[in-house]
């Protein structure tokens, strides 16, 4: 018996291949054994190739998801942006410093639809972002404008009617109450102002409150105090409302106060 065949027989015996028992069947047994070995090798190779293919496919999927996420982000920015017609209409106004246009989406409609936190229902007059995470000063929900959203933060809004915001300045009598308001630096006093914001404060004939109804074509004055982030006085006007309930605001920042720090008690 050739030496190579003897080795095959030894392996066959180790694998319990009984067909290698007699010389007459040795050649046929060896053929079956080698065929089986080839099949096993091919099976292992298929597993390796399939695993490599899956890894490559997953990498492609991750890349595709990242691309779709970026596309979604761009689409959301388009949805949140004032229209080109809005910008053309207020082009001269926008040449002035500390001015801008913003869109507020109704929170109850878009909160679960967009990736931006709270669905573009908030806006910051300092960061000019619609994200709730970016120092928001004004929000829109169920046809109400509101301010003061977290912790001891608070805001007062005054609805002043159909007044062009170009004519609103620090000398305006209805602005002066908010301009002269001193931001509390200890928590109990801040909480008291927060409570007053919720209930409303009447000065003369003007009401200052943290939540007021939307009036399309109406102008507003806002003082928003976000502890550790910003303290701003703003005049804005709701210039129009789209069919989806979103608002376009024309705004002018009147004053930025020193950063308010709160002593917790």
Q: Which among 188, 189, 198, 185 is positioned nearest to 228, based on CA atoms?
A: 185
- Among candidate residues 76, 91, 118, the one where a domain is terminated: 76
Burial state string for 149-174 with b = 16 or more CB within 10 A and e = fewer than 16: beebbbbbbbbbeebebeebeeebeb
Burial state string for 114-148 with b = 16 or more CB within 10 A and e = fewer than 16: bebebbbbbbbbbeebbbbebbbbbbbbeeebbbb
pTM: 0.76
Tell me, yes or no, whether 48 and 170 share the same domain: no
Tell me, yes or no, whether 11 and 134 share the same domain: no
The secondary structure element, H or E, covering residue 48 is helix 26-80
Question: What is residue 166's three-state secondary structure?
Answer: helix
* pLDDT for residue 41: 58
Query: By the 8 A CB rule, do 252 and 96 touch?
Result: yes
In a domain, 264, yes or no: no
Beta bridge partners, 238, equal 249
Judged against a pLDDT cut of 70, whether residue 69 lies above it is answered with yes
Domain count, the chain: 2
In a domain, 128, yes or no: yes
* Mean pLDDT score of the chain: 86
**Band (38; pLDDT cuts 50, 70, 90):** low
Tell me, yes or no, whether 176 and 71 share the same domain: no
Query: 51-55, 99-103, 111-115, 117-121: lowest mean pLDDT where?
Result: 51-55
In a domain, 174, yes or no: yes
* Between residues 220 and 31, the one the model is more confident about: 220
Structural domain including 45 reads 3-76
Tell me, yes or no, whether 13 and 131 share the same domain: no
Tell me, yes or no, whether 64 and 88 share the same domain: no
- Among candidate residues 76, 93, 123, the one where a domain is terminated: 76
CB count in 10 Å sphere of residue 238: 20
- In percent, the amount of the chain with pLDDT more than 70 equals 78
């Amino acid at each position: 018996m050739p030496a190579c065949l003897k080795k095959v027989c030894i392996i066959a015996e180790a694998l319990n291949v009984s067909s290698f028992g007699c010389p007459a069947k040795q050649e046929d047994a060896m053929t079956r054994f080698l065929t089986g070995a080839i099949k096993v090798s091919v099976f292992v190779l298929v597993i390796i190739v399939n695993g490599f293919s899956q890894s490559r496919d997953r990498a492609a999927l991750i890349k595709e998801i990242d691309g779709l996420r970026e596309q979604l982000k761009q689409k959301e920015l388009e949805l949140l942006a004032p229209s080109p017609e809005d910008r053309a209409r207020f082009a001269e106004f926008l040449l002035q410093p500390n001015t801008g246009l913003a869109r507020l989406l109704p929170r109850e409609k878009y909160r679960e639809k967009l990736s931006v936190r709270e669905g573009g229902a908030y806006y910051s007059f300092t960061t000019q972002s619609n994200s709730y995470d970016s120092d928001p000063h004004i929000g829109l929900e169920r046809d109400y404008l509101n301010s003061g959203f977290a912790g001891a933060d608070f805001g007062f809004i005054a609805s002043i009617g159909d007044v062009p915001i170009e004519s609103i300045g620090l000398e305006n009598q209805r602005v002066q109450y908010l301009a002269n308001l001193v931001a509390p630096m200890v928590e109990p006093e801040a909480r008291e102002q927060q409570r007053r914001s919720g209930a409303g404060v009447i000065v003369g004939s003007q009401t200052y409150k943290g939540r007021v109804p939307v009036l399309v074509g109406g102008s507003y004055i806002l003082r928003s105090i976000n502890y550790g982030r910003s303290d701003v006085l703003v005049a804005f006007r709701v210039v129009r409302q789209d069919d989806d309930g979103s608002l376009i605001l024309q705004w002018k920042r009147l004053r930025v106060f020193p950063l308010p720090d709160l002593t917790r008690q």
